Amino acid sequence: MLPEIGKVDKATFDRVIFPRLGKRDSSVLIGPEHGVDAAVVELAGGEVMVIAEDPTFGMPVLMPHFGWSIVHICASDVAVLGVRPRYMTICLMLPPGTEESVLEHIWQEIHEECEKLGIAIIGGHTGVYPGIAYPLNGGCTMIGLGSKDQLTPPSNAQVGDRLIMTKGPAVEAAGILALQAEKPLLEKFGKDIVEKAKGHFMAMSVVQDALVAAPYAHAMHDATEGGLLNGIYEIVEASDVGVTVFEDKIFIPEEIDAVCRYFNIDPLTAISEGTLVITAAPEKTPKLLSELKQNGIAAWEIGEITARDKVFVRKDGQKEELTPVKVDPFWAAYFSTLEG
């Protein structure tokens, strides 16, 4: 049985998708892998092409900044491999009855964000189709060009690396839920907390984080579904290494903690587009943290890459095995805001 919503699980992926990847091609340096955000193809002259593909679900709360979300979510998947995104194609699908002004607003945002990030829109498809309730990015393809030595895939973590987190956990979950459930959250926590939480919506991008960190990083990964802990797990699984993560070193902003408590979800396992997980050699970590800070990006060292065991150390010192997150708690919380 497939999940009701979200990505298919690892077992289904291994059983259905991995055995059927078309023709093998030696130029594919990185293909479909668990926890890897983009593919890498080797080009002539030592260059590589990094390619990422992402849909964007047109939930109502996204609509004022749907174009922004499309560009940053997909561009982030190229940037985390250490390469600047350069070209984009998009399949934009609209429900029947959509006003031209809606399309114009979405497209203006796409254009503006691509201009800011230096991305050329080189093709795609736009049309109106039945069966969808809101505008849908059916697939945005982002492409970047670089060299092999720039690459920072999740599979490149090294034993002894320090583990670094930017912004904090549950960035996406808190930002979306604060917008979706603004009224009850205002009644519970007041305007200051809610406005700060809503502000995390526009932090759902790791493009800048990744491009600043790339010269110092071995591996990088965006903490999307399953949140921070799942992002860490995917890095160490892809790299065939272990990790020790310390809960007491994971800073959770007050407003994110408040939203997650209200919905009774774990901020460490809730979807967090905007949180970058980085591994870097110990001697490069201070400079990496300094560069992020100078660029206005908060970051914390939260653990270390080890040879084998995947360990999560709770605040009370109890050690648990770090395992993949089976169900992201964000989705149930989000759909609960739509009831009634």
Residue with token string 């990496």: 288
Res 60: pLDDT: 75
pLDDT tens digit at each of 340 positions of the chain: 787 777 777 788 889 999 999 999 999 999 988 778 899 999 988 899 999 999 987 777 777 899 999 999 999 999 999 999 999 999 999 999 999 999 999 999 999 999 999 999 999 999 999 999 889 999 999 999 999 999 999 999 999 999 999 999 999 999 999 999 999 999 999 999 999 999 999 999 999 999 999 999 999 999 999 999 999 999 999 999 999 999 999 999 999 999 999 999 999 999 999 999 999 999 999 999 999 999 999 999 999 999 999 999 999 999 999 999 988 999 999 988 886 5
Structure-token pair, residue 223: 């903490």
Domain 154-336 classified CATH 3.40.50.300? no
Q: How many CB atoms lie within 10 A of CB 16?
A: 11
What residue ranges of the chain are covered by domains with CATH 3.90.650.10?
154-336
SS3 labels along the chain: CCCCCCCCCHHHHHHHHCCCCCCCCCCEEECCCCCCCCEEEECHHHEEEEEEEEEECCCHHHHHHHHHHHHHHHHHHHHCCCCCEEEEEEEEEECCCCCHHHHHHHHHHHHHHHHHHCCEEEEEEEEECCCCCCCEEEEEEEEEEEEHHHCCCHHHCCCCCEEEEECCCCHHHHHHHHHHCHHHHHHHHCHHHHHHHHHHHHHCCCHHHHHHHHHHCCEEEECCCCHHHHHHHHHHHHHCCEEEEEHHHCCCCHHHHHHHHHHCCCCCCCCCCCCEEEEECCCCHHHHHHHHHHCCCCEEEEEEEECCCEEEECCCCCEEECCCCCCCCHHHHHHHCCCC
Which pLDDT score is estimated for 16? Answer: 92
Q: Could you give the CA distance from residue 134 to residue 77 in angstroms, rounded to a whole number?
A: 24
Q: For the domain bounded by 10-150, which CATH number is listed?
A: 3.30.1330.10
pLDDT at 236 (0 to 100): 96
Spatial contact of 259 and 185, defined as CB atoms under 8 Å apart: yes
Q: Which residues of 154-176 are buried (b: 16+ CB within 10 A; e: fewer)?
A: bbbbeeebbbbbbbbbbbbbbbb
Strand order in the sheet with 136-147: 28-30, 39-42, 47-56, 136-147, 85-94, 120-128
Predicted local distance difference test score (pLDDT) of residue 340: 52
| Number of residues written out for the chain | 340
Listed in order, the ranges of the chain carrying CATH 3.30.1330.10 are: 10-150
First CA to last CA across the chain, in angstroms? 28
Structure token pair of residue 256: 């994110």
261 Cβ contact list (under 8 Å, min separation 6): none
Burial 18-32 (b: 16+ CB within 10 A, else e): eeeeeeeeeeeebee
Token pair for 323? 């395992």
- Residue 338: per-residue pLDDT: 80
Q: Do 250 and 309 touch, CB atoms closer than 8 A? A: no
Angle made by CA atoms 14, 332, 90, in degrees to the nearest 5 = 60
Query: CA Rg, the chain, in Å?
Result: 20
